[in-house]
Amino acid sequence: MAITSIKNLKDFSTNNDRFEGAHTLCPGCAHSMIVRELMNCTDDNLVISTNTGCLEVSTAVYPFTSWDTSWIHIGFENAATAVSGAEAMHKARKRKGTLKDNDAPVKFVAFGGDGSTFDIGFQWLSGAVERGHDFTYICLDNENYANTGGQRSSATPIGATTSTAQAGSHSYGKKEKKKDIVAIMAAHGAPYVAQLAPNKWKSMAKGFQKALETEGPCFINTVSPCCTEWKFDPKDTIGITDLATDSLMFPVYEIIDGHELNILYRPKNIITVEEYMGAQGRYKHLFKPEYRHVIDQVQKDVNEYWDYLQRREEARV
Amino acid sequence: MAEKYDLQEREVWDGNFAASQALRQAQVDVVAAYPITPSTPIVENYGNYVANGYIDGEFVMVESEHAAMSGCVGASAAGGRVSTATSSQGFALMAEVLYQASGMRLPIVLNVVNRALASPLNVRGDHADMYLGRDSGWIQLDAFNAQEAYDLALCAFRIGENHNVRLPVMVHQDGFITSHTAQNVYPLADEVAYNFVGDFQPVDDMLDFSRPVTYGAQTEEDWHFEHKARQHKALMDSRPIIDEVFADFEKVSGRKYNRVETYDMEDAEVAIVALGTTVETARVAAKELRAEEGIKAGVVAIRCFRPFPFDNVRDALENVKSVAVLDRSSPGGAMGAFFNEVSAALYTTANRPLVTNFIYGLGGRDFSIAEAKRIFKEQKAHADAGYITTDIQQFSGLRGPTLGFFQTKRG
């Protein structure tokens, strides 16, 4: 076990530079912060696979790579399977003794966006978790297909406008509820499932560490605000994430062994979803009087979900 | 250490069992698989060998064929010997990842038990899936019977893993006709087979952390063309290495393989060009016709479909007057895929033979010796006339009226 101690952000941020800054992600994109937090929270060897998406196309553009560790990308849907194949090979080779350093700890990690996790790659994720490979899957949830220009995904919340769920005179944007991916993955019986946020960096790093140290398949959904498609100033990424966690649009919590739920962040002052939405261009149309009911509906949903999480935490079931 | 497997000098195996024994003897580290008829027993047997300690490997039973090849790619990049098997729709579902496996230069061995592609759904053998894979950048070898399914699977590991090749290899066999028909098979002893294949020597091993590697990077117009050109070069350059491996295999087994196999071609006037089990049917027909009617008939069989043995096909056929190319796949609005390749090879010969195209045996329809004889006789008629006397493309063995296409001007 080689866990890095987390004392202060400055030390932590320079701990273990295995992800180079010279990538081509948008300024203000939270993906790189999340990847860095993952790679800085452990000293173990890492095998990382990445689905096709913003992270992939921005970090391994031949002849360059941002990854100073083993890294593989196959397709849009199969990062979970690529890493489970590598994990199986690690087991086989460890048994045969054909590894260079047979005892060095190795951790297997897959990254996907919400498109490749909630939608196109869901089958591959579900299969890999069911098979019980020892890996951690991290979904960088920016609630749209950002890499192809901001289409709706099943992670897009009600009321957001996207390039394929347009708001207009006859539509308030996306009409369907966001898929509850955390509950779905917890229902797979994964030993550690969590929803984390990069502004709560300590709980994020601790969550990552728990996932890496837990044997078996672990799943983490992280909010990753997208300044391009959510339409906010790139300098405001963490500020927007604060609004996301404080409005409880993105509650931060973990589920252990599919049932034990712990809330990891409890806002002192819960803000309204209106405040969160008002800071982003993708919800601008909702502030017309005719769409007021959508904001009210989202607020009602958020309140109910927060109540549900608290009841589950209290009940310990 | 793997348990000792009791092996006789002569075994009665079907093609699936033969292929799975090659996987056992090569001590494949990881098989990621999803079952599909008629290839299923290959991976079932691998699982059985793992369950009983005959292989010290990992059997990953994934949720689809797309995942099977994805798992194989991840496992292969992690520096060990990897194999799987599939057919038909499963192969089609894998198709996306086939390109990634070859683009990343990963020496995965895929046993493809050839079967028709739906719709209509059909579990029987034809070569639709083989042709679907032809541009995927894999080496494609074709076994005509169970013995060859075993032999070529062993050769496939050796070819693909050669550091000057580093490409994935498919070994084809005909669904049911080969895969489910038991025949005498002469296996190599375990040590001989393993020594022939050799220990796996990884290149760009993801589990070697002293030298991190990036697999599956992104390229655009600045590099993509160069990558694909290099990949094509690697395939073309694998030809002498395939020959070398076949020669080495002859030393340990006494069985000689060539990228193009020729039968009775020394003085042949007419020829059939074919793949798979059809080759043996055509050979019998050629032998009988020579004895019965004095027709100088010969057979040219493609052992290595990719890289396509352009030169060898041309050399084998340039002195023949008339050639029938047999496609076991629906042509889909064109001449048969196989016909096009053989014709391209013959176009550069000074003495260009007459070439016709027969579509036959789709969805497992039987191909008989009598049918092969009829085709030879038709070639003889072309040869005597000096031009093609029938339709250039015909459906052979179809019920109902004969279907013919692309008539000649003179006919």
> pLDDT tens digit string along B99-120?
999 999 999 999 999 999 999 9
Which DSSP symbol is given to A147? G
Residue A184, chain B, CB below 8 Å: the answer is no
Q: For A138-184, how does the pLDDT look when each residue is reduced to its tens digit (9 = 90+)? A: 999 999 999 999 999 999 999 999 999 999 999 999 999 999 999 99
Tokens 């893993």 belong to residue:
B161
What is the C-alpha to C-alpha distance for residues B18 and A211, in angstroms, rounded to an integer? 43
- Given a cut of 60, whether residue B328 has pLDDT beyond it is yes
The answer to ipTM > 0.85 is yes
Assess whether pLDDT exceeds 60 at residue B411.
no
Model confidence over A272-284: pLDDT tens digits?
999 999 999 999 9
Burial of B397 per CB tally in 10 Å (0-12, 13-18, 19+): middle
Q: Which residues contact B104 (CB under 8 A, 6 or more apart)?
A: B73, B77, B215, B216
* Alpha helical stretches, state H, B268-359: 278-293, 310-317, 337-347
- Please check the confidence at residue B274 and state whether its pLDDT lies above 60: yes
Per-residue model confidence (pLDDT) at position B408? 77
Question: Nearest residue on chain A to B50, judged by CA atoms?
Answer: A92
Q: Are B353 and B320 within 8 A, CB to CB?
A: yes
What DSSP state is assigned to residue A251? -
DSSP A3: B
How far the first Cα of chain B sits from its last, in Å, is 68
What would the pLDDT profile of A55-99 be if each residue is shown by its tens digit? 999 999 999 999 999 999 999 999 999 999 999 999 999 999 999
Torsion sign, CA atoms B121, B124, B125, B129 = positive
The count of other CB atoms within 10 Å of the CB of residue B99 is 16
Share above pLDDT 70 across residues of chain B, in percent, rounded to a whole number: 99
Q: Which residues on A lie below 8 Å from B94 (Cβ)?
A: none
Is the CB of A127 less than 8 angstroms away from the CB of B57?
no
Kindly tell me if the per-residue pLDDT of A44 is higher than 70: yes
What is the band of A13 on the pLDDT scale with cuts at 50, 70, 90?
confident
Q: SS3 for A229?
A: helix
pLDDT (0 to 100) of residue B402: 84
3-state helix, strand and coil shares in percent for chain B, rounded to the nearest 5: 40, 20, 40
* Whether pLDDT at B207 is above 80: yes
Q: How far apart are CA A301 and CA B341, in angstroms?
A: 62
User: Closest chain B residue to A87 measured between Cα atoms?
Assistant: B75
Compute and round to an integer the Cα radius of gyration of chain B: 21
Look at residue B409 and tell me whether its pLDDT is greater than 80: no
By three-state DSSP, how is residue A214 classified? coil
Q: Report pLDDT for A2.
A: 60
Q: What is the mean pLDDT of residues A258-267?
A: 96
Name the band, by pLDDT with cuts 50, 70 and 90, for residue A317.
low
pLDDT band at B410 (very low <50, low <70, confident <90, very high): low
Collect all residues with Cβ–Cβ distance below 8 Å to B236 and sequence separation of at least 6: B307
**B78/chain A closest Cα distance in angstroms:** 5
The residue type found at B22 is A
- B74 to A69: CB separation less than 8 angstroms, yes or no: no
Q: What is the mean pLDDT of residues B348-361?
A: 95
Which tens digit of pLDDT belongs to each residue from A111-145? 999 999 999 999 999 999 999 999 999 999 999 99
pLDDT at site A316: 77
- For B167-190, letters b (16+ CB in 10 Å) and e give bbbbbbbbbbbbbbeeeebebbeb
Beta-carbon separation of B63 and A83 below 8 A: no
Task: List the end-to-end C-alpha distance of chain A, in Å, as a whole number.
Answer: 30
Q: Alpha-carbon distance B132 to B117, whole Å?
A: 10
pLDDT at residue number B243: 98
What is the rounded CA–CA span in Å between residue A153 and residue B409? 57
Q: Is the pLDDT of residue B317 over 80?
A: yes
Q: What does the pLDDT read at residue A9? A: 85
